[in-house]
Amino acid sequence: MKGGGWCNDIASCNGRKYNHRGSSKYFEHEIPFEGILSNKQDENPDFYNWNRVKVRYCDGASFTGDAYNTGGLYFRGQRIFEAAMEELMSKGMRYANQALLAGCSAGGLAVVHHCDEFAAFFPRDRRVKCLADAGMFLDAVDVAGRRTLRSFFNGVVKLHRSVHTLSRTCTSRMDPTSCFFPQNVIPNIKTPLFILNTAYDAWQVLESLATSRSDRQGLWTKCKSNHALCNGNQIQFLQGFRNQMLNVLSGFSKSRQNGMFINSCFAHCQSERPETWYAGNSPQIGNKRIATAVGDWFFDRSEIKEVDCAYPCDGTCHHLL
């Protein structure tokens, strides 16, 4: 499942009509299959000879929308997901003995919201699991004490009427916006799920924690451009974000069927990049690279609950802006 952010109002959604995030007219003619999608054994040892599919992302709500004409737009993310899966099943996926639904960023969030739905397409005797890469968007307080991402997600959920497609187990006890956040959905997922995330997610630092609106004096400008320039107070704030991430995952990690790899890097999306998936110098926790950890978990070779020590202890990171 491809990533690509979200749109939370008519203007931002209308703008997506004119690029690859909202219209097939602007899709790239060729897209790379790297990392977990690579067909080279030395780059992707466990999944290189699988049938691999990239699902285009075009709805702006992690495939949760289900609204009629709103400002000249139709929000049909849920139906797009269902149609894509039904098409793949008709092309032979129904015969798969093993299947993995994976995605990064907004695609990682889509995996969280559709994991059990995906598993339901297959007989129960098949091995079906899910991998959410950089999809743990936290309901966190920003540097100004506001909840920037919650406000944004609230617009997404209302505009796309995602309440109709979100987990009913969640919406029966919480508001729909809370149920768009993965932290409130993962406790109820029955299908084995692997969470791959950095403890200092680069996108969330820029777009949720220290936005230009929440940092009007520009005190975080240098820190955001280079984490080595963060002062002590800023590092302490980021360590608090890491602690929140680990607290959210504490219950999730107790299930033997689930897996996780939380490394202390400033990055976003690691499964599709060859340099972070299985390269010789790719990120590691202990002696496990990300591809090894995911493979060991998927094939039940070992239980994977890898959590890195806090920044700056990890020397294997590929820090990305």
Question: Active-site residue among 105, 178, 271, 282?
Answer: 105
Question: Active-site residue among 201, 264, 271, 282?
Answer: 201
Contact 80, 71 (CB under 8 A): no
What pairing do the DSSP bridges indicate for beta strands 305-307 and 259-263? parallel
Q: Is 300 a catalytic residue?
A: no
Q: How far is it, in rounded angstroms, from Cα 61 to Cα 5?
A: 8
Question: Active-site residue among 113, 114, 227, 268?
Answer: 268
The reply to whether omega before 45 is within 30° of 0 (cis) is no
Q: Is 268 a catalytic residue?
A: yes
Q: Is 318 a catalytic residue?
A: no
Q: How far is it, in rounded angstroms, from Cα 30 to Cα 240?
A: 41
- Structural element, H or E, at residue 258: none
The DSSP secondary structure of 103-159, one letter per residue, reads EETHHHHHHHHHHHHHHTTS-TTSEEEEEEES--------TTS--HHHHHHHHHHHH
The DSSP secondary structure of 8-55, one letter per residue, reads -SHHHHHHGGGSTTT-GGG--S-----GGG---TTT-TTTTTS-----
Structure tokens at 9: 């109002």
At residue 61, φ and ψ (nearest 5 deg) are: -145, 30
Structure tokens at 56: 């285009």
Report the catalytic residues. Answer: 105, 201, 268
